[in-house]
Structure 1
Amino acid sequence: MFDLEGSDDQRLQRARARVAVQFGFRDGRTRLARLHQSGSAKALMPDLPGSPEVVFLNTAGGLTGGDRVEFNLDLEAGARATATTQAAERVYAAASGVARMRCRASVGAGGALDWLPQETILYDRAALERETVIDLAGDARLLFCETLVLGRAAMGEELRALRLRDRREIRRDGRPELVDCVRMDEGVLALAADPAVLGGARAVALLALVAPGAEDALGPVRALLDEPGVAAAASAWNGRCLVRLMAGDAWPLRRQMIRLLTQIRGTAPPRVWQM
């Protein structure tokens, strides 16, 4: 057992990082209104046609116990944008303390956000607490995904110790639309092969479309849930369409996710997702 509750060792260098991006909507276009960056957190905005794309980046190269990272994105009414990460976020072994990540986004009425981070890879003895909160106003649209990978199968990694608290909350006009919490520790890992837990899966994901009429996406989404090596199920109700996926390895799950995102978006995922 390793120390997750103890205070951070101040002798070790810790990441302290924050980035905040705000877009307005002027003259029929989404335009950058504000950008703040500090520490190892950066936001890249490639020059692409169409709506802006924000690529969040943690230049520290990964997270470990004691690190603090915060990503913020605000879209004013009518603004549209895609947010992603430059690469998979790696959470390394923690000697002490817990890595904490906070992600916040807001979307004004008539706006649209595709929140599409790449995978989070958890190494043995990783300790992560992450909270993602997205506020939608009026008829705003959100496409959201989150993928967790329990070690790298190709490297033969096995997770024996872990602490994960991953909370995702989506609200519309201040009321919860979707609250999804993932908690993993040694007890869960010990039962990972049980069909009632992970069924031996090393990669799990949530894909959610939260928008007026999201139920219409259910049929086309279900028709795509045939990727070999991936178990998935989809449901829809009251302006939500959810897909849960699990696989023995991250690659087939990623292929399935790319197909789903392409179907829902009507275009390929962000360029940094390209395999």
Structure 2
Amino acid sequence: MTLQTVPAMPQERSRGAAHVALRAGPRRGRLDRLHQSGSAKAFVHPGEMGPEVVFLNTSGGLTEGDRLTCRLDLGAGVHATGTTQTAERAYRSPGGSAAVEVRHRVGPGGHLDWLPQETILFDRSDLRRETRIDLAADATCLMLEMLVLGRAAMGERPAALHLRDTRRVLRDGRPLLVEPLHITPATLPAGPAVLEGARAIATVALVAPGAPDALAPVRAALDEPGTRGGASAFDGKLLIRLMAVDGWPLRRQVVRLLEVLRPGPLPRVWQT
């Protein structure tokens, strides 16, 4: 009897795209358009600081070949918060990278708080992410990105992973802030100029005319145990960088900073 080799079946890949557009209306904005497809979903809730837009990836995580896009367009005068329902997870990707595109636009007089919850990078994950926020001439934004390298409570310490994460803020097409981050296996054990053994990192950026005024209160709040951080302000921008031994102290520090930088409560999904 001759055994025949059964060809390997192609693995199913996740595809998702969600696009929310808000226009001027009561409570600083109202829903104008909503499109969602595949694994990407979006929900809009009323909030004290304006609408809260929550993006969700129903596939439960990202691995090789997955593609996810989320987009938020704010019309003139709209103030809104964008976030994610839970932490995003990048899983083992032995044959290629997962890709995420985040593209937001803020119209004249508008403001966006882009506050996604943390991204957890598992061992041998491979993620490429592009985040771009386009501001009109007088629009403003607050942007956050948190990365956690494995789950300390589960004893996870990634030995190898790849991340290319680029964040851009532009005003009328002119770059105001460009943040490229590249993590490789060589980065993980590296010294003070890189991660120096940190298990979690974050960047917080406020782009607004009065951003430098918040520098002193922000520096006063940089004292959460288990974290290290620094803040600087220049040319209408405030930039904060954080490192932590684990995701929980990092999150506590970020929450304290957000309470300094924005009035009102955190998004509802952050409070559960």
TM-score (norm 1): 0.93
TM-aligned CA deviation for residue 19 of structure 1 = 0.4
1:256 match: 253
2:217 match: 220
State whether residues 115 and 142 of structure 1, in contact with CA within 8 Å, keep that contact through their aligned partners in structure 2. yes
Q: Partners in 1 of 2:110 and 2:212 — Cα distance? A: 19
1:236-247 equivalences under 5 Å are 236-247=233-244
Q: Partners in 1 of 2:42 and 2:263 — Cα distance? A: 25
TM-aligned CA deviation for residue 26 of structure 1 = 3.9
Q: Partners in 2 of 1:95 and 1:127 — Cα distance? A: 8
Counterpart amino acid of 1:62?
G
Q: Partners in 2 of 1:49 and 1:105 — Cα distance? A: 21
TM-aligned CA deviation for residue 159 of structure 1 = 1.0
State whether residues 20 and 33 of structure 2, in contact with CA within 8 Å, keep that contact through their aligned partners in structure 1. yes
2:67 match: 68
Instruction: Could you tell me which runs of 5 or more consecutive residues in structure 1 were left unpaired when the two chains were aligned.
Output: 1-8
Q: Deviations over 1:37-59 (max 9, x none)?
A: 00010001234455100000000
1:93 match: 92
Q: Deviations over 1:133-165 (max 9, x none)?
A: 000011111011000111111111121121110
State whether residues 88 and 121 of structure 1, in contact with CA within 8 Å, keep that contact through their aligned partners in structure 2. yes
Identity of aligned residues (%): 58
State whether residues 258 and 268 of structure 1, in contact with CA within 8 Å, keep that contact through their aligned partners in structure 2. no
1:119-268 equivalences under 5 Å are 119-191=118-190, 194-268=191-265
1:38 match: 37
Which ranges of 4 or more aligned residues in structure 1 deviate by more than 6 Å?
none
Counterpart amino acid of 1:249?
D
Q: Say which SS state the counterpart of residue 189 (structure 1) adopts.
A: coil
Q: Deviations over 1:18-43 (max 9, x none)?
A: 00000111478411111000001000
Most deviating of 143-152 and 46-55: 46-55
Q: Say which SS state the counterpart of residue 222 (structure 1) adopts.
A: helix
TM-aligned CA deviation for residue 107 of structure 1 = 0.4
Counterpart amino acid of 1:40?
S
State the superposition RMSD in angstroms. Answer: 1.4
Change (3 A) 1:10 1:69: farther
Q: Deviations over 1:220-272 (max 9, x none)?
A: 11110111111000000110001100001111110010011011111222111
**Structure (1 or 2) with the larger CA radius of gyration:** 2
Counterpart amino acid of 1:82?
T
Change (3 A) 1:268 1:23: same
Q: Say which SS state the counterpart of residue 51 (structure 1) adopts.
A: coil
State whether residues 188 and 196 of structure 2, in contact with CA within 8 Å, keep that contact through their aligned partners in structure 1. no
State whether residues 19 and 34 of structure 2, in contact with CA within 8 Å, keep that contact through their aligned partners in structure 1. yes
